[in-house]
Chain A
């Protein structure tokens, strides 16, 4: 039988931003499988030119409405490294706590609102409120907690206020931090229930070997700054991020593509998990085992599971951070500094993967050159190549075009693409 297929998904749903899937099959053979980003670019690198050092993080935050804290932190780190500012320990802890709030918020949003409807066979999370109230309850309670963390530490859930050059501008009262700790502890059964829930859901079976890129942990599972590592053995300094990304442009997409040792690489929760598994605490490793996630895992659909695992991890680590904050004086939260010329790179493990901001500042602290490389930009080529392999596997399994469409959509969603971000 000759199989012909023409699949065109225009503006894929349940992803942030606009992207299309185009698949052509002729005589049972794959002719083309394309992941095409059609999002309108905003040109942040151009807009950052002429912006002063203290406004750059505020502007960069607007690259993404979901991971605005990560963008702010990468931007702050680029500015602070350019001007050689060392931030106080308490500020470092508060920033990491904010980061964990964001990771939890972003992952929960993706796992439950964007990915889970496919696993339950519904169009969105809204019908789940009636059909599976216990699932919707988990989603809402965990998301509320995540937003609480971001709100308390940064002054707002989206587009943080109090993350500023030199540290943080405001610290919550110790009593508020104590309450927050109790709230996180109270929600631990919910994240454990989420692990149990995902044990019962079936994740598509698909494997394509690829390269995974992330920050390289030293003592802890890494989130802010440090060396860069790939699962193919490449190790680079933070400042050498360009050698890790190698951006190029394809005609059919407004987002750039990237590559390293192979035709494409992946970033995100699964990449971090694969590269830094040994830094996870035993409780979290045990949860990963329950969900059949072991490094190195090459199934992109397991990124959803790696996100569940990271949620558990950041909640536990947030409790540790709060303990440290509660045990210490919190009066030194912002370093003094002198505005000066310089160049700096800031790498941050954003929810969707490693994020880089790089600036050149003049002696007045005004940005003269900016470059931002976004996690989804780095994933786009990997999604594109995965899709071809997925369609080929599906054709061998005699899947019809409906099934192939559904799987391809799920594949893109598994990466949790933030398309506006990737085009920025």
Chain B
């Protein structure tokens, strides 16, 4: 609209940063190639070390991937928090600690020794970004869905409301007319996990692992009943529920 009137709208300045993680969520930003040029046209990418040598400190939105595991990361994250108007946790590691938190069940000394032997390597308990600084917005997923990130960033640019689905993955899966993964004999966390991903895992005939965190409108009671009916062991269920550290623990014991 502004362009039509001959006014160039001011681009929103964005910085993309990574902490302890795999780089996969950052990579999603360069995916969805069909709309990538238009997406980038909305933004002024001032800092995105993984793909650019520009190192600007003046950004409105900070998209941050990864969890926090070392003291220097705490300092770096606090610096970013000071500069950013909106700090977005990008992906399950940033939102919940992600798979990295599997480390937390072992004593740190044991973990270091397992991998580095007698050499000393600094590491700490794995934390989500929100455990260290104030997070304005969480976009979960392992990896994040580029479609969702795109929609959210566009909404931020346009000042539109950002909404996440309240219903579980199960709903999206059923819309695809998939065979239920429970009927294939597997555990699926689709009934309790927040939708928005398009259910790629159950569509691929593999149970959902809950990477997007809990759905607001989940029916835990019926989920427990499904688990019971299929006779899964608590250990099997726990392994999945704890995988991304994204789901509350409260509902496991009774399963």
Contact = CB atoms under 8 A, between A and B. Distances in A.
A169 B73 CA distance: 39
Interface string B121-160: 1010000000000000000001100000000000000000
Nearest to A364: B235
Contact of B103 (A47, A117, A129): A47
Nearest to A251: B119
A170 interface: yes
Given A13-B53, A42-B103, A126-B45, A63 B204 contact: no
Interface string B16-31: 0011111111111011
Interface string A103-120: 000000100011001000
B123 to A, nearest CB: 6
Contacts of B54: 123-124
B162 interface: no
B53 A14 contact: yes
Given A62-B99, A155-B200, A156-B200, A46 B111 contact: yes
B205 A169 contact: yes
Interface residues of B, number: 59
Interface residues of A, number: 56
B253 to A, nearest CB: 19
Interface stretch (A64-72, A185-193, A315-323, A389-397): A64-72
A52 B52 contact: no
B99 A52 contact: no
A55 B239 contact: yes
A49 B113 CA distance: 13
A140 B33 contact: yes
Interface stretch (B34-42, B167-175, B212-220): B34-42
A123 B116 CA distance: 36
A14 B34 CA distance: 22
Smallest CB-CB A-B distances: 6 pairs: A65-B24, A155-B204, A124-B52, A161-B204, A144-B33, A65-B22
24 contacts: A14-B52, A15-B50, A16-B50, A40-B20, A40-B69, A43-B112, A43-B115, A52-B239, A55-B240, A62-B22, A62-B24, A65-B21, A124-B54, A126-B40, A136-B37, A140-B36, A141-B33, A147-B31, A155-B200, A156-B143, A159-B24, A161-B206, A169-B206, A420-B18
Given A13-B49, A65-B143, A421-B22, 19 more contacts: A13-B53, A14-B49, A14-B51, A40-B73, A41-B123, A43-B103, A43-B112, A47-B102, A62-B98, A65-B22, A68-B22, A114-B51, A124-B48, A124-B51, A124-B54, A129-B37, A141-B33, A147-B33, A249-B116
Interface of B: 18-28, 30-31, 33-34, 36-37, 40, 45, 48-55, 69-70, 73, 98-100, 102-103, 106, 110-112, 114-117, 119, 121, 123, 142-143, 200-201, 203-206, 209, 236, 239-240, 243
